[in-house]
Structure 1
Amino acid sequence: MKRTPRRTWPSTVIGILLLAVMLFPVYWMVDASLQPTGNALRAGWFPSHPDLSGYATALRDQGRNLVTSLVVALGSVVFSLALAVPAAYALARFTLRGADLVLLGVLVAQTVPGIAVADALYSAYGDLGLVDSRLGLILADSTAGVPFAIIILRSSMRNIPREIIEAARVDGAGRLRVLGRVVLPLSVNTLVTAAVFTFLFSWSDFLFALTLTTTGDVQPVTLGIYQYLGAHTDRWNAVMATAVLASIPSAVLLALAQRHITAGATDGAVT
C-alpha cells in the first residue's frame, strides 16, 4: 500500500498565512464594530474595552431592514423551489417536445445582466403596483434562484434510477406522489443546495433593492448599509456592527448546510 505523503511544514505555514489573509477583513469588521465611535482606521488590533454601542445603534436603525431582508430571502427560496421542483422534474423524467430549447432558455436566463432585468421589472412593477413592496423584491430575486435551481435539480433527478420510480408507479402512486414521496427525498441534498444559494442570492442582493425601491418603507439591509454609510460616515462602529449582523444568517446557514451542499454540488452537476 502506498503511503499518503505527509504535508511538510512549509505548506502548512503557507496555508495558515493564506487563511489569515482571507479572514482578516472579517476580523477587522468584528474588531471595528466593538470600538467606540470614531474612525475605524484608528481602531486597535484588539478591542481592549469592547463597546457594544455600535450594535445597539445598528439594531435600532437597521433592525427593520434586517427583517425585510430575511422575509424577502425566505420568500424567494419558497417561490423559487415551488417553480423549480416541478419544472426540473418534468424536464428530467418526461419526454417533452422542445425540452432542450426550454433548458437552453433557462441557461440563457443565467447570462442576462441583472441591470437589464431590473430595468424591465421596474417598468412592469409600475403598472402592477409592486414597486416598494416585499412581494416585488421576492419575485425579482427569484429570477436568479429559479434558473439555478432548475439546472441542478434536473441533473440530480435524472440520476435517480428509473427502476425506483417505476416500482412506485406499479404500487399505484401517481406522478405527484412519486415526486413528493420518492424523488424529493432522494434529491434532498440538491434541494438544500438550491435553497441555500437562492437565499444567498436574495440576502446579498443590492441591484434589485436599489432599482425597485424608491422610499424607505421597504428596504433590505444591503441598501440600508449603503445609505447608512452616507449618513453616518463617522460612526464606523455602527456600520461594521450592521455588517456583522448581516453576515450572521449566511454564515450560520452555510455552516448548518455544509454537508448537504458538498453532496448536492456533486449530485447536481450538469450532465
Structure 2
Amino acid sequence: MTRRRGAWKTALGVVLAGWMLFPVYWMVNVSLTRTEDMRTDPPHWFPWNPTLDGYANALGDQLPALGTSLLVGLGCVVLTVLISAPAGYALAKLRVRGAGTVNFVLLVAQMIPSVVMAIGFYAIYVRLGWLNTLWGLVVADSTIAVPFGVLVFTAFMSGIPGELVQAAKIDGAGTVRTFTSIVLPVSRNAVITVSLFAFLWAWSDFIFASTLDRNGSMIPVTLGIYRYIGNNTTEWNSIMATAAVASVPAAVLLVVAQRYVAGGVTAGAVKD
C-alpha cells in the first residue's frame, strides 16, 4: 500500500514537472528548428533537421545586450549587499529603536508595483540626468532587492549565537569589526541568497529597462529580446535561441546556489 502511494505521488510529480517544463522544451525545440520547417501543420514536436543558425544569429545580435545585463546584475548585487547587510545587522543585533516599524515598511515596500515605481523613477531621473544609464538601472533594480535583502539578513543574523558577538566585544572588536570579521562571514548563506535573488531580479527586469533605458546605447537582454521580436517576427528560431541563451545564467546560478539558499545560518556558525 505504501509503495503504491509513493508510486502515485511520483507519477503525479513527473506529470506536473513535465507540464511546467514544456514551455522550456518548446523554446529549445523552436530554437533548433529551421524556418521553413515551422510552417508545417501540425508542427514538429522534435527538430528532425536541427540547425544552429538561430544561436549564431542570437549571439551575433544580442551579445552586447547579454554583457549589459551581466553588468547591471553584478552592480545590483554589490549595491544590494552593501546596503542590506549592515541594515540587517543593525536590526538583528544592535537593538535599534523602531525595528518593528522598519520591518513593516520593508514588507509594504515590496507590495508596490514596479510600474508605479518606474513612473516615479522616470520623473526623478529626468532631473538627475540618469535616464539611459547603467547606473540608473542598477539603482532602480536595487530598490526591489534591498527590502528583501534586509529582511533575509535580519532573519539570518538573528539566529547567530549571541556568544559569538559577545566574544568579539570581549576581544576588543568594535561594532564595525564585529560585523565584518564575525557576523558577515558566518552569514555566508544569507549573502549568497540575497545575491542570487538580486541578480535574478536585475537579469529578468523589463519594466525598469523599458522605462528608464529605452533609448540608451547599452540595453539589457530583456529589452534586446523585445526589440528583436519586433524586427524578426519571421525568424522564430533566432528569437527562441536568444531566450534560451538568456535563460542559461539564471538556471546555472539556481542549480549551483540552491544548497546555500537552503542552508541554515546557525549550522554554519557552529561549523565555523
Q: TM-score, normalised by structure 2?
A: 0.91
Give the corresponding residue for 2:19: 21
Q: Which moved more, 1:245-254 or 1:22-31?
A: 22-31
2:65 is aligned with 1:65: yes
- In structure 2, runs of 5+ residues without a counterpart are 268-272
Decide whether aligned partners of structure 1 residues 142 and 251 sit closer, same or farther in structure 2, where only a CA change above 3 A counts.
same
Cα offset, 1:229, TM superposition: 1.1
Q: Deviations over 1:202-254 (max 9, x none)?
A: 11101000110231512111111112111111000000000000000000000
Cα offset, 1:98, TM superposition: 2.3
Say whether the 8 Å CA contact 1:193–1:264 is kept in structure 2.
Answer: no
CA RMSD of the aligned region, Å?
A: 2.0
Q: Which moved more, 1:223-232 or 1:212-221?
A: 212-221
Give the corresponding residue for 1:33: 31
Decide whether aligned partners of structure 1 residues 104 and 41 sit closer, same or farther in structure 2, where only a CA change above 3 A counts.
farther
2:172 is aligned with 1:172: yes
Q: Which moved more, 1:239-248 or 1:44-53?
A: 44-53
Cα offset, 1:36, TM superposition: 1.3
CA distance in 1, matches of 2:122, 2:245: 29
Give the corresponding residue for 1:217: 217
Decide whether aligned partners of structure 1 residues 264 and 38 sit closer, same or farther in structure 2, where only a CA change above 3 A counts.
farther
Cα offset, 1:39, TM superposition: 7.0
Decide whether aligned partners of structure 1 residues 264 and 245 sit closer, same or farther in structure 2, where only a CA change above 3 A counts.
farther
1:94-173 paired onto structure 2 within 5 Å: 94-173=94-173
Say whether the 8 Å CA contact 1:75–1:138 is kept in structure 2.
Answer: yes
Q: Which moved more, 1:92-101 or 1:218-227?
A: 92-101
Q: Deviations over 1:54-106 (max 9, x none)?
A: 01111111111111111101100100110001111111111222222222222
Give the corresponding residue for 1:259: 259
Please tell me the residue identity of whatever aligns with 2:192: V
Give the corresponding residue for 1:9: 7
* SS state at 1:173 partner: coil
CA distance in 2, matches of 1:150, 1:193: 12
1:68-83 paired onto structure 2 within 5 Å: 68-83=68-83
CA distance in 1, matches of 2:156, 2:89: 10
CA distance in 2, matches of 1:121, 1:106: 18
Decide whether aligned partners of structure 1 residues 223 and 40 sit closer, same or farther in structure 2, where only a CA change above 3 A counts.
farther
The percent identity for this pair of structures is 47
CA distance in 1, matches of 2:260, 2:39: 39
- In structure 1, runs of 5+ residues without a counterpart are none
Q: Deviations over 1:28-65 (max 9, x none)?
A: 11111111125757452222232111011111111111
Say whether the 8 Å CA contact 2:145–2:198 is kept in structure 1.
Answer: yes
* SS state at 2:68 partner: helix
Cα offset, 1:265, TM superposition: 9.8
CA distance in 2, matches of 1:177, 1:5: 55
Give the corresponding residue for 1:186: 186
Q: TM-score, normalised by structure 1?
A: 0.92
Please tell me the residue identity of whatever aligns with 1:155: A
